Amino acid sequence: MAFRDGPFENLKVPLAWTAAVVAVVAMAGAALLLVSDRTTPDGGSSYGAARGAAASVTGPVSGVFAAPVRWVGAVTDYIGGYFFAVSENRRLRAEVAELEPWRDQAIALKNVNARYEAMLGLRTEPAVPMVTARAISDARGPFNRAKLVDVGASKGVRIGNPVINEHGLIGRVTGVTGGVSRMVLLTDVASRTPVLVDRTDARALLTGDGSDNPRLEFVRGAGSVQAGDRILSSGDGGGLPRGIPIGVAAKGIDGSWRVKLFSDRGAIDYVRVLLFQDFGQLIDPNALNAPPLAGLTTAPPPNAEQAGAIGDAAARRQAAAEAQAARARAAAAVAATPPAKTPAAPQARPVQTRPAQTRPAAEAPSAATSPQPTPAQAPEGVT
């Protein structure tokens, strides 16, 4: 039935305009989603400007639409806490009793560490300034994991600033406008974070692949990672402070090392953006711009104790120099003295051996011709 033949004849024009407006809004929304799903950092390109404009427009609107969701979540948590208060209280009591020895041990180690730092004169890094924000929308795609937070350049946020919550590192800022910032999570395919293994101090690279557990790649050293090892930010490259907790290592189904993120322990609602630029802000500028040392002419004269120590050291150096010079003179004198001549040993004459002379058989005496002893020469008892 045509509009002109029925009671809907007067609604033809309003319905056509409504369809046109819906189509325009749908195309604009598709364009915004296409721009916001780009994985490259904003930088200064036209995509960055378009994404910043889209974030500025959708940020407040997303915050308004997200408010009822947060209220419903708060009411649900309140009702669940009311019904499960007894079991939760028992669990918390057991956890507190288990953590009491660790608390005492942590306090003791903290005191020992403070004494060691005082003795060694170690310089601790100053605290990094931060600003608190709230995640107002969740921009997800097939491989994209990003959020919008309600702070921007007006609060000092810059591209590259790390974002944390009460559990650990969440991601980094990749786009900034006046009042809204875009944060890429660690699970995004464009996320690359240098990390270290707390137990072995082995370096690695945390690579997002769109899953809930990012990969741990380029691990150096065999056996440097084990299941359950804590993974921290290494600070390599100067983009992140060192020591921010990230998660624990675990073996994936495919056999590769992955990280269970600490940030998944709760909903990402309120976050803190670390206003970290580089390691230059962790150094005291007064220490770098220290005045030059005083010259020798302007140095104060030594006191009696210092003068005695200086004189004693000078006397020892002079005595050592004189002893070394005496040893050198003695060595030179020994080298200049000619060696004494020793008489040559007499040469032994060769022994001349004469050939043995043999008597002829006729001259050899025989028993028949040998003279017999006389009776006077015969021994007694022989007749």
Residue 134: enclosing H or E segment and its boundaries? Answer: strand 130-140
Residue 300: band (very low, low, confident or very high) from pLDDT cuts 50, 70, 90: confident
Q: Is residue 295, in this structure, part of any structural domain at all?
A: no
| Best CA proximity match to 173, nearest among 59, 54, 275, 265 | 275
Return the closest-CA partner of residue 157 out of 134, 176, 133: 176
Indicate the pLDDT class of residue 213, thresholds 50, 70 and 90. very high
| pLDDT classification of 382: cutoffs 50, 70, 90 | very low
Q: Are residues 195 and 249 in the same domain?
A: yes
Show the domain range for 175. 47-75+129-280
For residue 187, what are its two tokens?
């699970």
Looking up tokens 């990094």 gives 128
Res 44 pLDDT > 70: no
Looking at the fold, whether 256 and 141 belong to one and the same domain comes out as: yes
**Does the pLDDT at position 45 exceed 60?**
no
Neighbours of 381 (CB within 10 A): 5
Report pLDDT digits (tens) over 242-296: 889 999 999 988 888 999 999 887 778 889 999 887 666 566 666 656 566 555 5
pLDDT of residue 204: 93
Are 214 and 70 within one domain?
A: yes
- Separation CA 159–CA 175 (nearest Å): 6
pLDDT averaged over the chain?
A: 76
311 occurs within a structural domain: no
Question: Is 212 found in the same domain as 104?
Answer: no
Instruction: Examine the domain organization and report whether 213 and 114 are in the same domain.
Output: no
| Helix residue ranges per DSSP H, the chain | 12-36, 46-83, 85-120, 285-288, 304-336
In this structure, the number of other CB atoms found within 10 A of the CB of residue 197 comes to 23
Q: Is 361 contained in some domain?
A: no
Quick one: average pLDDT of 29-41?
A: 57
Number of domains in the chain: 2
Q: What is the CATH number of the domain that holds 204?
A: 2.40.10.340
The bridge status of strand 203-207 relative to strand 215-217 is antiparallel
* 208-217, 238-247, 301-310, 330-339: least confident range: 330-339
pLDDT digits 0-9 by tens, 346-365: 565 655 555 555 555 444 44
Of 31-40, 99-108, 124-133, 308-317, the one with minimum mean pLDDT is 31-40
Q: Is residue 173 part of a domain?
A: yes
| End position of a domain, from candidates 66, 93, 124 | 124
Q: Are residues 211 and 66 in the same domain?
A: yes
User: What's the CA angle centered on 344, arms 339 and 347, to 5 degrees?
Assistant: 160
SS3 at position 350: coil
Higher pLDDT, 22 or 38: 22
53, 139: one domain: yes
- The dihedral sign for the CA sequence 118, 121, 122, 127: positive
Note the pTM of the prediction, 2 decimals: 0.51
371 domain-assigned: no
Does residue 108 sit in the same domain as residue 256?
Answer: no
10 Å Cβ neighbour count for 291? 5
* 250 within 8 A of 214, measured Cβ to Cβ: no
H or E element that contains 193: strand 192-197
Q: Are residues 65 and 205 in the same domain?
A: yes
Mean pLDDT of the region 187-201:
91
Examine the domain organization and report whether 248 and 110 are in the same domain. Answer: no
pLDDT surpassing 90 at residue 197: yes
Band the pLDDT of 383: cuts 50, 70, 90.
Answer: very low
Tokens representing residue 272 in the block: 């803190």
Angle between helices 12-36 and 46-83 (to 10 degrees): 100
pLDDT of residue 284: 61
Radius of gyration of the chain, Cα coordinates, nearest whole angstrom: 49
Collapsing DSSP to helix, strand or coil, 362 comes out as coil
pLDDT of residue 352: 57
Mean pLDDT of 129-156: 81
pLDDT score of 339: 67
- Which pLDDT value is given to residue 3? 46
- Cβ neighbours, 10 Å, residue 215: 18
Q: How far is CA 357 from CA 9, 353, 354, 360, 362, in A?
A: 169, 12, 9, 10, 15
DSSP state of 137: E
Structural tokens at position 130: 């931060």
| 275 neighbors 161 (Cβ within 8 angstroms) | yes
Comparing 11 with 156, the larger pLDDT belongs to 156
| 253 within domain boundaries | yes
Residue with the bigger pLDDT between 143 and 69: it is: 69
Task: Please tell me the distance from the alpha carbon of residue 176 to that of residue 183, in angstroms, as a whole number.
Answer: 9
216-244: pLDDT as tens digits: 999 877 788 999 999 999 988 888 888 89
Please state whether beta strands 245-251 and 257-261 pair in parallel, antiparallel, or not at all (unpaired): antiparallel
Residue 260 in domain: yes
- Structural domain contains residue 259: yes
pLDDT value at 95 more than 80: yes
Q: Cα dist. 72→66, 69, 137, 232, 269 in Å? A: 10, 5, 16, 34, 14
Last residue of a domain, one of 228, 260, 280: 280
Last residue of a domain, one of 246, 280, 314: 280
CA torsion angle for 214, 216, 217, 219 (degrees, to 10)?
Answer: 170
What's the chain's length in residues?
A: 383
Same domain membership, residue 212 and residue 65: yes
**Cβ-count burial of 148 within 10 angstroms (0-12 exposed, 13-18 middle, 19+ buried)?**
buried
Domain check: are 206 and 93 in the same one? Answer: no
